[in-house]
Amino acid sequence: MDGLEQLQKYIDESGKIVFFGGAGVSTESGIPDFRSVDGLYHQTYDYPPETIISHDFFMSNPEEFYRFYRQKMLFRDAKPNAAHKKLAELEQVGKLTAVVTQNIDGLHQMAGSRRVYELHGSVHRNYCQKCGKSYPVERIVNTEGIPRCDDCGGIIKPDVVLYGECLDSEVMEGAIKAISQADLLIIGGTSLAVYPAAGLIRYCPGKIILINREPTPMDGRADLVIKGNIGEVLGAVQAAQ
Ligand code: NAD
């Protein structure tokens, strides 16, 4: 694959790598992305996915929200792929300082990554909207209809940033700090279409590498663009020499 040697060279020369990724990082784990031809946005529902996974829709129609959410956004059997594993290894050998992800699937942590900024939250955290009691994802998976709090009967909401909601400011600040100190930013598996997340890459003072199946609006800004599957590409990298 073109660019692999150059990628390895950049990684060998860097000591503060940050990875910034999106849904494409998990497609090789069997979780569909949003915008590829076979992605979530191209499947048919009564409402478009952007409508269903919005704050207003959750508040006005939680039952329909949860029907879609359980069917299309929870992938309990998904396992980390070679990309998640290599990023965890790069952190372990002291070369990677943080993963910044738009994903909500928790696969980076499952692979062993420790510093993970989840810009859009996680399906693994769920809270009662009324009293704040927290619930694991199993609570959502193992119930039907609208999941309610054992203590107060409030509606449980996933800690996932829905359309119309703000990103967590602490997570955002942590991600900006990590990126602004990076000597190499590896971006992968993201269409770079969702803001403000996509805007974060402008904070990088170092080199930028883009690994994606399709072109992105930032290809011109990158020092190296590799077209391919991120699991295959990162899987071929040597973390330590
Ligand atoms: P996106 O769907 O807009 O774009 C995915 C990009 O990844 C596309 O450009 C596609 O060509 C590329 N891609 C797909 N598989 C790839 C692979 N194996 N290797 C390399 N490139 C690959 O995703 P986005 O930019 O992350 O934005 C969508 C939003 O959807 C995010 O906010 C995210 O929170 C959410 N989302 C999350 C998950 C998840 O948690 N796994 C899944 C779907 C959507």
Q: pLDDT of 203-223, one tens digit each?
A: 999 999 999 999 999 999 999
Under CATH, what is the fold of the domain 1-31+80-120+167-241?
Answer: Rossmann fold (3.40.50)
* Domains of the chain, residue spans: 1-31+80-120+167-241, 32-74+123-160
Instruction: Quote the ligand 1 centre to 149 CA distance (angstroms).
Output: 32
Q: What's the token pair of residue 111?
A: 């692979």
Mind telling me the catalytic residues?
Answer: 120
Under CATH, what is the fold of the domain 32-74+123-160?
Answer: SIR2/SIRT2 'Small Domain' (3.30.1600)
pLDDT above 80: residue 37:
no
Write down the pTM of the prediction.
0.94
CA–CA gap between residue 128 and residue 149 (Å, rounded): 6
pLDDT above 90: residue 64:
yes
pLDDT above 80: residue 15:
yes
pLDDT band for 153, please (50, 70, 90 cuts). Answer: very high
**Ligand 1 lined by 101 (C-beta under 6 Å):** no
The pLDDT of residue 195 is 80
Closest listed residue to residue 187, CA positions, set 197, 199, 177, 201: 201
Q: pLDDT of 91-148, one tens digit each?
A: 999 999 999 999 999 999 999 999 999 999 999 999 999 999 999 999 999 999 999 9
Instruction: Quote the ligand 1 centre to 17 CA distance (angstroms).
Output: 21
pLDDT band for 46, please (50, 70, 90 cuts). Answer: confident
Q: pLDDT of 160-193, one tens digit each?
A: 999 999 999 999 999 999 999 999 999 999 999 8
The pLDDT of residue 198 is 83
Instruction: Quote the ligand 1 centre to 212 CA distance (angstroms).
Output: 10
Mutate to test the pocket of ligand 1, among 27, 28, 33 (most ligand atoms within 8 A of CB): 33
**Ligand 1 lined by 80 (C-beta under 6 Å):** no
**Ligand 1 lined by 155 (C-beta under 6 Å):** no
* Cβ pair 60, 40 in contact under 8 A: no
**Ligand 1 lined by 102 (C-beta under 6 Å):** yes
